[in-house]
Amino acid sequence: MTDSRAAAPAATPADIHRASRNTIGDAVARSAARNGSRPALAFGDRLWTFTELELASNRLAHRLTGLGLNKGDRVAAYGRNSDAYLLLWLACTKAGLIHVPVNYALVHQELAYILSQSGCHALFADTDLQPQVDAVQQDLNIAIAGSLHGGGNPDVLAMARAPGEDSPPTLELTDTDVVQILYTSGTTSDPKGAMHTHRSLLTEYGACQYHLDIRADDRSLAALPLYHSAQMHVFTMPMLLTGGYSRLIHTPTPEAILSLLAEERLNAFFAPPTVWISLLRHPAFDEDRLRHMTKLYYGASIMPAQVVDELGRRLPDAGLYNCYGQSEIAPLATVLLPDEHGARPTSAGRPLNTVLTRIVDPLTGQDCPPGEPGEIVHRSPQLMVGYWDKPEATEDAFRDGWFHSGDLGYRDEAGYLYVVDRIKDVVNTGGVLVASRDVEDVLYRHDAVAEVAVIGVPDDKWIEAICAVVVVKDGHPEDAESLLTHARANLAPFKVPKHIRFVPQLPKNTAGKLLKRKLRETFAPLDTND
C-alpha cells in the first residue's frame, strides 16, 4: 500500500512565494473576485465591472510584454483621465513594468526631462498630445510610442479590449519591486522621481480605506488628474480595492464637476483648495442639489480657514476630511476627520496608523515642544525607496533614519499637526521668519479677495519683502490700499505686505496646486519704490 501523500509533489519555494505574494495586481484580482459584476469605473459612455477591469488589464499586460517590454522597463503615461489611463497602470503592475505618470500640461523641455531622466522605454499618450510627443521623441531613445485611446498603433484601449490571454502573466514579482516613479510637482525645484514599491502603495491603500472611511457603497468623482498621486493613490485605487464606484471626468470644469456630482448622485469628492474655492464661487453651486454628498475631501495644499467654514455651512450634512502628505509618502500622511474639524478647523489632523511623525528643529534634529514650529519628518512603510537616479537628493531626504518632508509645522498638546508652510515658502523679512499662510489667512477675510498667494521677493533692506498676489472677486475693484488697511488691522506690522499685486488668476498645475515658484519668477525683482 502506497502513501498518497508521498506521491504529491513537494512544495517549492516558488510555490510558497506565489501563494503568499501580495502585489497590487494580486490585490486587484482579489477585489474582482469579491465584487465581480458590480460597476467599478465609468468614463464617457463606457462602464466597467470589477471583473471586466481585471480581465482587460491582464490582456493588456500580456500585450505589453509582447511588444518587447521586460520587467523593470519604464512605461510613461501622458494623458488626461480615461479608463485607458487606469488600465495601463493596472497592466504595468501585473507585467512587472514601472509606470511613469506624466503631467499632461508639460511640453518641450519639461516633458523631455521626465522622459529622459526616467529612461522610458515606452510612451502612451492621448492623441491630441501627439504634437508634443513628436517634438521631443526624435531626441529621445523611446522604443515604443503609442496612444492611450483613440486609434494609435499600438493603442492601450484597443489592446485591452481585444481577445487574448485573460490570466495574469506568470513572472517573478515581489512586493519590494519598484512599480511606479512619481515625479514631484516641481513647485519649488526641478521634479524628482519618487520610487514606490508594491508594498509602499498597498500599505497606504489600506490606511486610506480605514482613515477616510472608504466603503463599497461609495460613489466617487475622480476629477483631479490620475497622474496626481492623491487622486490615483488616495482615492481611485483604494476605492477600486474596496468595491466602490469611480466616475472619471476628462475635462474637470466647475460646471462639469457640479453637474456630475448632482445628476449622478456622487457622494464623495476630493479637490485641492483652489478647486473648492472655484466651485463655491460658481453660480451653479446649489446646496439643495448636493445634499446627498457625505464625504468632502481636501488637501494638496493648505485650505484657508474661511473656506473650511463656508463648506461646513453650505453642506452641513457632509463630513470634511483634511488630507495632508506628499508624493514621497504615497502620498497620505495625516488626516483630520469630520468630528475633529469643530475644535481644530485649521489642523492637518493626526498621522495614519502606518505613519510615525515628529517635529524637529531643522538645525539640531531635536524634537520641538508643542506649539513650536519645526520640520515635519516621518517614518513609514509607505515611504518611497528613493529618488530615481538622484542619490544625493535621496541622501538629503533620508537623514538619521527619518524622511525629511521640507514642510514646516507644529503639534498641539493633543498631538494634532498644524502645517505652517513649505520651508521654502517661509519669508525671511528683516531677519524675522513669516509663514506665508499667516498673511494669506488674514487677506482671505477681506470681502474682495477671491484668491491670494503670499511670496517673498528679494529686497535690499528687508532681505525679502512680503508680496501678496491677489485675485479679486467679480464686481470688486483692485484696491491695494483697502487690502493694506485690512492687513494692518489684523497682522503684526512685520507681517504686513510691502507689495500688493493683482492678477486675473494664480498659476497652478493641472492638479490645481498653486505654483509659488512661478510667482517668484514673475514678481522678482520688484520696483522697491512702489
Span 206-249, pLDDT tens digits: 999 999 999 999 999 999 999 999 999 999 999 999 999 999 99
Q: What is the pLDDT of residue 22?
A: 98
The torsion of the CA quartet 275, 434, 361, 414, rounded to 10 degrees, works out to: -60
Type and span of the H or E element at 240:
helix 237-242
Where does the pLDDT of residue 529 fall: very low under 50, low under 70, confident under 90, or very high at 90 and above? very low
Q: Report whether pLDDT(187) > 60.
A: no
Q: According to the CATH classification, is domain 426-523 in 3.30.300.30?
A: yes
The residue type found at 486 is H
Written as one letter, the residue type at 435 is A
Which band of pLDDT confidence, cut at 50, 70 and 90, is reported for residue 438? confident
More confident residue, 122 or 460: 122
Q: How confident is the prediction for the chain on average, in pLDDT? A: 93
Specify the range with the lowest mean pLDDT, choosing from 38-47, 183-192, 462-471.
183-192
**CB burial of residue 500 (10 Å; 0-12, 13-18, 19+):** buried
Residue 5, pLDDT score: 54
State percent of the chain over pLDDT 70. Answer: 96
- Is pLDDT of 303 > 90? no
The three-class DSSP label of residue 11 is coil
Does the structure show a pLDDT above 90 at 304? no
Q: What is the pLDDT of residue 512?
A: 76
Q: For the segment 273-289, what is each residue's pLDDT rounded down to a tens digit?
A: 889 989 999 999 999 99
Looking at the predicted structure, is the pLDDT value of residue 28 above 60? Answer: yes
Spatial contact of 356 and 401, defined as CB atoms under 8 Å apart: no
Mean pLDDT of 39-63: 98
Burial class of residue 119, CB neighbours in 10 A (0-12, 13-18, 19+):
middle
Q: How confident is the model at residue 448 (pLDDT cuts 50, 70, 90)?
A: very high
Percent of the chain with pLDDT over 90: 79
Domain ranges of the chain: 17-174, 210-423, 426-523
* Rg for the chain, CA atoms, rounded: 24
Q: Do domains 17-174 and 210-423 have the same CATH topology?
A: yes
Q: Does residue 381 have a cis peptide bond before it, meaning omega lies within 30 degrees of 0?
A: no
Question: Cell numbers at residue 489, please?
Answer: 488691522
pLDDT value at 162 more than 60 = yes
Class of CATH domain 210-423: alpha beta
Interval 454-485: pLDDT, tens: 999 998 888 889 999 999 999 999 999 999 99
DSSP run (H or E) holding 376: strand 374-379
Class of domain 17-174: alpha beta
